[in-house]
Amino acid sequence: MTPLHQIATAVRANAVLAASPSPHPTPSCPQAPVLCGWVFDKTGQAWLAEGSYLFLLKPLRIVLIVALAILARTLIHRTINRLVRTTNGFNGSGSAPALLRPLREKMPATLLRDAVALPERRRQRAEALGSVLRSIASAVIFVITLMLVLSELGLNLAPLLASAGIVGLAVGFGAQNLVKDFVAGMFMLLEDQYGVGDVVDAGQASGTVEAVGLRITTIRDAQGVVWYIRNGEITRVGNKSQGWAQVVVDIPVGFAGVREAAEILRTAAAKLADDPQWSDDLIDPPEVLGVEQITADGAVLRTTVKTTSESQWRVGRELRRCLTDALDRAGIAERLGAGRILLHPAGGAVDQPPPPTATPAGTAGPADTGQHSGESGLGTGSQV
């Protein structure tokens, strides 16, 4: 082909290309091809179709994640509230909230008959556990939602998780006492170690529990003082209201007539057990165990009785009254008191022996006086 023919062929090819219409540019969006194609078909703009994933699909997905998180949190909180409040126990029937039914419950028998204190105890325990469950659910949902949103934004989560772990460690170290209080309170509620209305000995204070929380336990002592004790500071607690109790009464009866005194105590204790006013508070009849110890004043007889919880104090007072009255009627108390004069001066009390009758004046030395100055009288022998 001659050069002239080559030039003519090139001119015709350029003319054909110039006459044919140029095709429209096609968008490139592999993340969401369907959405990209739909936007391109509607608008005909490639740049708008390519940006639809970033400006339209991502915000919609983030909004959907947040909406689902809010919905899940609402449903979980509503379920927990229903488990806490859906109960007929607050009207005095004694039914426990649904949240507490899988957990063990330890409470005094007297509280089971109390239509006011029992629902309040259960309500506070259920509310505290419900608060813990709601907080845990909210925290878990928030963390999951935050991670999903950050992932949608294309952020690398590994450095963020490492930084969050360091910050959490620092916060936990600084607030370890607060965390300790909450953890101790949670286990205390789960195990039902004590509740509203229980008489407890928490070490720092002893008295009746008035309120139970995750961080603070409120106790009112016998003098009416209200103590606020952090749950993390309670290392041991003695509950005097759970199960049963035992009254122990020790009475000195002297050296003479121990058998007679023991029989008198058994008779008086049996009368107390037969009294209808006190029989409901006694689990077992009173028992005179015999001589518990020997002191300078003579033999000490021990009497015990097993009672229902929270009735040991009034039963103990009545038992001591019955026993001392019986000994007084039998004349044993007079024989014990005949050999001792108990002085109670305003400046302090010291037991003094009676003045000597057969000893000549001036023969009683200091050693004799000191021998009797440390002895105690009858009134200190009984205890619970």
Render pLDDT for 273-282 as a digit per residue (tens, 0 to 9): 888 888 888 8
- How buried is 376 (Cβ within 10 angstroms: 0-12 exposed, 13-18 middle, 19+ buried)? middle
The pLDDT confidence band at residue 295, using thresholds 50, 70 and 90, is confident
pLDDT at 150 over 80: yes
C-alpha span between 20 and 14 (Å, rounded) = 10
Q: What is the pLDDT of residue 229?
A: 92
Going along the chain from its start, the domains and CATH numbers come out as 33-76 (no CATH), 86-239 (no CATH), 244-344 (3.30.70.100)
Mean pLDDT confidence for 314-320: 90
Q: What is the pLDDT of residue 382?
A: 39
The more confident residue out of 355 and 183 is: 183
CA angle 55, 56, 62 (to 5 degrees): 95
Note the helical H segments in the chain: 3-19, 33-43, 46-52, 58-85, 109-112, 117-152, 157-174, 176-191, 258-274, 276-279, 312-329, 332-338, 366-373
The pLDDT confidence band at residue 70, using thresholds 50, 70 and 90, is very high
Contact status, residue 341 vs residue 282, Cβ threshold 8 Å: no
